Chain A
């Protein structure tokens, strides 16, 4: 276990720390993964509790939608631009208790809404493989920070793919745990029934260690659960794969086939499975996610904290101005959609129907897992896309969530991993497992990692050790 973090034990040694901070400074000037970076404050939090823990002296970063006391909690939004959190998320608290040093908060799409991190009101984060391209989202800053060698791991949140997709775009591992496996206390809510705190990591082993530290039922999150059993997972033997035309970019398609071939060569049985509800993932996801978001984001009114407009005559004007001036376009769009699908007269047709479809999607996966131990699928139909014209517009980005949203709708764990580098960009794949089957995911992806280790973007060479 020690060797896993060995080269990352930086912050216990002042010489190494200087080199490290110099590296961050020069690297983040190009990448802009961090919204806030402060080693001293991070060390301060760890010093109170973390002596002798397995993460002692190891830096890590946290998506700026997860609360850390004394650090800002902007959610990438103007409405919380100057908000400082008075408390720390349970998951982060557990990492700090093991000595981990929370060095900074990473950029994201505003309130987690997006697939590029360009929806942040507080700056753009570049892909370490190609700074003209997006780093993915919404946990783009976390994935980019890990890919650029600035931290061994960074927390993100995955509501519909927000850890796995940027991890795929940046060429790192991205774990979306089982719904409820990690406490959501301190994760600013976008879509409460879908999301979970996840991790972007440099290696499968690191992701596994971090998950093992973070997991477990929390009294502050009554939707959190303990995994049923501590018995070792039986090894996966059958891998379910998707058939038919998946509408993938050629590089992603090639990577998918190559990954399948790899596992077949390792003696796994490859079985094509039929996910009959696949066409409904994206509309069901966006219906439920926006509905929940419309309520979750109602608390931002400029009354108790956050952005307050210059002038207002009454509470209502104050609230409306704060929200209209404080939220970006994509957030407003999703609030409007979510409000609409919950309205009486429309709720049956949209929200209620989506809930029933979600049930059917869960049942579909229950069936699929009687035929396969794990399911392998792409993360996103494209590699990291370009900004502007050459890229994807917001609507196309939503449609492209068709492989990631399934795990959120069904509450299943999923682990994305770099499967190839092609045309100078990584391509990511993901495995899905039954609820609380994280160990199965780590085991099977570990095999691939031995064959194809985490790639390093050519422009980033961490050299403090």
Chain B
């Protein structure tokens, strides 16, 4: 994987990487992807299609559950303004 691919990937993952991280993580990613290519050895025709899922049709009734006071959740927010959670946005 070249650096530009790593950059796009980091971008999608919302990670800022330092120069040295691009090198060290890049090397490690490379090594593992290389190892993943082992999966290509399997005979394609012998593989089943798609993803198997266990269970189906689990639903819950459309009824209110309120076992946690929302105020407790707001206390975890680093910054609040009235009941809004605040984030910086300098335009």
Q: Do chains A and B make direct contact within the complex (CB under 8 angstroms)?
A: yes
| Residue of B32, B42, B48 ringed by the most chain A CB atoms within 10 A | B32
Interface positions, chain A 336-365, Cβ under 8 Å from B, are 336-337, 339-341, 343, 349-350, 353-360, 362-363
Taking A84-B76, A283-B35, A353-B40 as contacts, is the C-beta distance between A339 and B12 under 8 angstroms?
yes
Which residues on B sit within 8 Å (CB–CB) of A303? 77-78, 85, 87
Q: Is the CB of B88 within 8 A of A312?
A: yes
Q: Mark each residue of chain A from 280 to 318: 1 if its CB lies under 8 Å from any CB of chain B, else 0.
A: 101110110000001000100111111010001111101
How far in angstroms is the closest Cβ of chain A from B83? 13
Q: Mark B1-17, 1 if CB is under 8 A from A, else 0.
A: 10001101110111111
CB of A319, distance to nearest CB on chain B (Å) = 5
Cβ–Cβ contact A340 & B9, under 8 A: yes
Complexed CA–CA distance, A394 and B29 (Å) = 12
Q: Digitize B65-88: 1 where CB-to-A-CB distance is under 8 Å, 0 elsewhere.
A: 001100011001111000001011
Among the 9-residue stretches A48-56, A229-237, A240-248, A321-329, the one with 4 or more Cβ atoms under 8 Å from chain B is A321-329
Number of contact residues on A: which range applies? Answer: 35 or more
Given the known interface contacts A180-B55, A360-B46, the answer about A305 and B36 at a Cβ–Cβ threshold of 8 Å is no
Contact in complex: B21, A332 (CB < 8 Å): yes
Residues in B whose Cβ lies below 8 Å from that of A354: 39
How many angstroms between the C-alpha atoms of A15 and B57 in the bound complex?
Answer: 52
Chain A residues with CB under 8 Å of B6's CB are 336
From A180, A279, A298, A360, give the contact of B48 (CB < 8 A): A360
Q: A305-B76, A313-B88 are in contact. Are A340 and B15 (CB under 8 A)?
A: no
- Across chains A and B, the number of contacting residue pairs, with CB separation under 8 Å, is 154
- In angstroms, how far is the closest chain B Cβ from the Cβ of A262? 34
Which residues of B have CB within 8 Å of A84?
A: 76
Is the CB of B25 closer than 8 A to any CB of chain A?
yes
Which residues of chain B are near A363, meaning CB under 8 Å? 48
B9 near A286 with CB under 8 A, answer no
Q: Looking at the complex, which one of B29, B60, B76 makes contact with A337 (CB distance below 8 Å)?
A: B29
- Chain B CB within 8 A of A387 CB: no
Contacts A305-B76, A315-B87, A324-B17 given; does A340 touch B29 at CB 8 Å: yes
Q: CB within 8 Å of A: which of B24-65?
A: 24-25, 28-29, 31-33, 35-36, 38-42, 46-52, 54-55, 58-60
B54 touches A179 (CB 8 A): yes
**Given A323-B14, A343-B9, A411-B54, A315:B29 Cβ within 8 A:** no
B39 contacts A320, C-beta separation under 8 Å: no
Contact for B9 among A179, A316, A336, CB less than 8 A? A336
Also in contact, A287 and B36, with CB within 8 A (given A336-B15, A395-B31): yes
Which residues of A from 400 to 442 have beta carbons under 8 Å from B? 411
Nearest chain A CB to B57 CB, angstrom units: 9
Listed stretches A160-168, A206-214, A219-227, A376-384; interface member: A219-227
Give A304 to B78 CA distance when docked, in angstroms. Answer: 7
CB distance from B61 to the nearest CB of A (A): 9
Q: Does A335 contact B (CB under 8 A)?
A: yes
Q: Which residue of the partner chain, among B50, B55, B79, contacts A225 with CB atoms under 8 Å?
A: B55
Please measure, in the bound complex, the distance between the C-alpha atom of A327 and the C-alpha atom of B25, giving whole angstroms. 13
Which residues from B are CB-within-8-Å of A318?
87-88
Q: Which residues of B contact A (CB under 8 A)?
A: 1, 5-6, 8-10, 12-17, 21, 24-25, 28-29, 31-33, 35-36, 38-42, 46-52, 54-55, 58-60, 67-68, 72-73, 76-79, 85, 87-90
8 sampled A-B residue pairs with Cβ under 8 A: A179-B54, A280-B42, A287-B39, A315-B87, A320-B14, A320-B15, A340-B1, A341-B36
